[in-house]
Amino acid sequence: MSYLYNYKLTTNAEFLRVDLLDEIRQFSGKFSDIDIEVCLTYDENMHTDVTVGDILSHYTAALPDGDEIEIKRQVKRFVKHSLYMTLSEISGIKLPWGSLTGIRPTKLAYAYIAKGGQVDNVSGYMQSTFAVSSHRANLLQRIIKAQRSALSQMPDSAVNLYVHIPFCDGRCNYCSFPSVDISKKGSNDLLSRYVDALISEIAEMKKFIAVRNESIFSVYVGGGTPSVLGENDLERLLNAIAADNCEFTFEAGRADSFSCEKTAILKAGGVTRICVNPQTLNDDTLARIGRRHTASDFYKAYFTAKEAGFDINTDIIAGLEGETPSDFAHTADSIAELQPENVTVHTLSRKRASLLADTELSCPDIERMMDYAFMRFSDYEPYYLYRQKNMVGNLENVGFCKKGKECVNNITVMEEMVPVYACGAGSISKRVGKCISRFASPKDVGLYIDELKERTDKKLMFLSGERVE
């Protein structure tokens, strides 16, 4: 039994307890002081009896087929869906993503297509199988089409090269990424030593890629705030990456860390796309969330990058503490006027390692804000989508782009379609395929530098498909 959030869950499907609790939690406190029982039985079909208080509902589905993993997956979906339908009916609440609690609804759409489903039927499938709303299900279908078209020329030998710069100037309150605050004493020296280590790891990684005849499909330098690098370190880093003929994205996430000189270095270093992220264009909110820049810094950085001819990604967040729908509309309107190539609209989520970890986030207007974003960016193509745990309103993050301007890194990383060869402290390399496996580098920058050789060898073994202890 679980006594969480004042309800009691009893089930004979213990292996699904965590999933069932996730489902109940989606109704944010609606079911308190109540007994919920979920009973799963089998005969020639599978059945669930869901009791909430004194209301009993019964559901039946055909027995699943496939291998053990697939059977377990289908049973889980059926039981979660049964519980969702009951809770939805009793509460009168229909959630935008129905019974889905996972973070990547697109994966379910791809699995459906892999089993012979038609792309044009994705929306219907999501609505009938998971009770997803027609708006979200249609959105998903559109996104799958956009992704397939954007990746139609992707070679089988594609890999993504990721380079991580875990340094920032200050700390934003919603952020959970571990990063070194460069405003602290001694951190500039650490930054230069870090770049030395990173350059030698990149050199090993590039040799490895060349020997295996793989092609770098996209490069992404992320963080942290990569644009905090000084000009000399920046140039050294880009020379080490030396990527050409591929999408090359560089995060200049914080507008105050960007300059004309750095823009010229990025241009000469092969960067094609720059992320300049305001998150909000309201100065009061920027100060409140700990971003040490203003809206006017953002505009300056944006136009500097634009004039240099880069494609631009911008991120904004709906549901930031203290923001009203009109604050959010101001940000969305201002970004829509600029017409960057890519806009990603996030809904705020509470992350365990962030300064907001213990804050109960709520934003009653979050759906209105996201609806406004869909309307404001209706001349863009939605092309990637993901969800996170503890998102305000259980909504989603959506990437929109101008026609033909999809950031392929965003798609392939989000959908886990391409291996990620990641360099740097706290970076995570990934092998993809039937199973996804990961290799993490130490988050601690000092440890990363000290153990570089040994850890790089292990990482390359992992990427070759060997088992690494």
Applying CB under 6 A, the residues found at the interface with ligand SF4 are: 168, 171-172, 175, 177, 179, 223-225, 253-254
Interior/surface letters 56-82, b for 16+ CB within 10 angstroms, e for the rest: ebebebeeeeeeeeeeeebbbbbbbbb
Q: How far is the CB of 276 from ligand SF4 (least distance, A)?
A: 12
> Closest CB to ligand SF4 among 131 and 305?
305
Strands 7-11 and 2-4: antiparallel
> Closest CB to ligand SF4 among 123 and 277?
277
Strand order in the sheet with 55-62: 2-4, 7-11, 34-42, 45-52, 55-62
What is the rounded distance in angstroms from the CA atom of residue 89 to the CA atom of residue 329?
33
Q: How far is the CB of 219 from ligand SF4 (least distance, A)?
A: 19
Q: Which residue is nearest to ligand SF4 (CB)?
A: 175
Q: How far is the CB of 317 from ligand SF4 (least distance, A)?
A: 10
> Closest CB to ligand SF4 among 22 and 283?
283
> Closest CB to ligand SF4 among 225 and 412?
225
Q: How far is the CB of 189 from ligand SF4 (least distance, A)?
A: 20
Q: How far is the CB of 223 from ligand SF4 (least distance, A)?
A: 5
> Closest CB to ligand SF4 among 184 and 467?
184
Q: How far is the CB of 184 from ligand SF4 (least distance, A)?
A: 13
> Closest CB to ligand SF4 among 140 and 407?
407
- Three-state helix/strand/coil letters over the chain: CEEECCEEEEECCHHHHHHHHHHHHCCCCCCCCEEEEEEEEECCEEEEEEEECCEEEEEEEECCCCCHHHHHHHHHHHHHHHHHHHHHHHHCCCCCCCCCCCCCHHHHHHHHHHCCCCHHHHHHHHHHHHCCCHHHHHHHHHHHHHHHHHCCCCCCCEEEEEEEECEECCCCCCCCCCCEECCCCCHHHHHHHHHHHHHHHHHHHHHHHHHCCCEEEEEEEEECCHHHCCHHHHHHHHHHHCCCCCEEEEECCCHHHCCHHHHHHHHHCCCCEEECCCECCCHHHHHHCCCCCCHHHHHHHHHHHHHCCCEEEEEEEECCCCCCHHHHHHHHHHHHHHCCCEEEEEECECCCCCCCCCCCCCCCCHHHHHHHHHHHCCCCEEEEEECCCCEHHHCCEEEEECCCCCCHHHHHHHCCCCCEEEECCCCEEEECCCCCEEEECCCCHHHHHHCHHHHHHHHHHHHCCCCCC
Q: How far is the CB of 104 from ligand SF4 (least distance, A)?
A: 22
> Closest CB to ligand SF4 among 20 and 276?
276
> Closest CB to ligand SF4 among 66 and 230?
230
Q: How far is the CB of 67 from ligand SF4 (least distance, A)?
A: 40
> Closest CB to ligand SF4 among 254 and 405?
254
> Closest CB to ligand SF4 among 283 and 367?
283
Whole-number Cα distances in Å, 349 to 353, 372, 398: 12, 19, 14
Q: How far is the CB of 281 from ligand SF4 (least distance, A)?
A: 16
What is the rounded distance in angstroms from the CA atom of residue 211 to the CA atom of residue 163?
20
Q: How far is the CB of 296 from ligand SF4 (least distance, A)?
A: 18
Q: How far is the CB of 300 from ligand SF4 (least distance, A)?
A: 17
- Amino acid identity at 115: K
> Closest CB to ligand SF4 among 36 and 286?
286
> Closest CB to ligand SF4 among 52 and 168?
168
Q: How far is the CB of 456 from ligand SF4 (least distance, A)?
A: 24
